[in-house]
Structure 1
Amino acid sequence: MPRLQPVLRSMMTALVNSLLETPAEDGDLRLARIAAIKKFIRRNYRNRALDVDEVVAYSFLSRRALYDLFEDEEVQVSGYIRALRTLEALELLTEANSWKRSLTDIAEASGFTSLQAMRRAVREATGSSLRDVKENPEVLQIRAAELRRLTGTGREGPPL
């Protein structure tokens, strides 16, 4: 809960200022904006059309303002989208019946635009190929845990 206090304070500032129709300081709204953008991304990362331009359109910020907003975050917007997609792919690859699904199907279900994009993301995240990942689940679990930490998601996968 202490981790959420700055976000809640920021959201309350935004709410009070909108109700009282008084301007708020940008710094007061920063955390609320980041939280809203991340929530939007978590809801839509499986959509293959989601990219930085879609987030720009959603947030009503310019691309530069969006990147400036995320400058103190561990990953930028595109990296956040990619990390969520990679985590989804890794989890789908480790399901008991994953051998019944094609790799292309897993890539599409994870939001990647192509199988090659998923292969690159998995290799960058784990240092291993898709085949090696399936054969060595320990590496996968370690890297999936790191991606969960990076994206702020729990064990059950990306929250909505």
Structure 2
Amino acid sequence: MKKLINDPNEVVTEMLDGVVSAYPDAMKRLEDTTVIVRSDAPVKEKVALVSGGGSGHEPAHAGFVGQGMLDAAVAGEVFTSPTPDQVFEAIKAVDGGAGVLLVIKNYTGDVMNFEMAAELAEAEDISVDKVVVNDDVAVEDSSFTS
């Protein structure tokens, strides 16, 4: 398979900019971040939905940003969970006053970092709740599958 990579150090931001360029009416990238948000974010009095994870399966998370779907997607580096600070930036960007629901995939790094981001948000009086989704079809046989 042929990979189209200009600079390995910029692959995530270039991918995100490409997705945003394809759908500029639906989404935008927060400046100096790897966070994609709805173009109309924050939506007042709506519970915002935020998810994300490691890059490498694009458009993965960013592909779910839009009306009736996610309000924000946070992209980590390739096969690396987003940091708590990245997730916190997403939370702040989409909170319209009704709180934020974090949709967390059941991967140790994602759970840990999204929960830390929730604590940061709650310290700034942003209401946050979390749901961990438990299906990981990326791994056929592991101690995490039944």
Structure (1 or 2) with the greater strand fraction: 2
* TM-score > 0.5, shorter chain as reference: no
Task: Give the TM interval when normalised to the shorter protein.
Answer: under 0.3
TM-score by length of structure 1 reads 0.25
Structure (1 or 2) with the greater helix fraction: 1
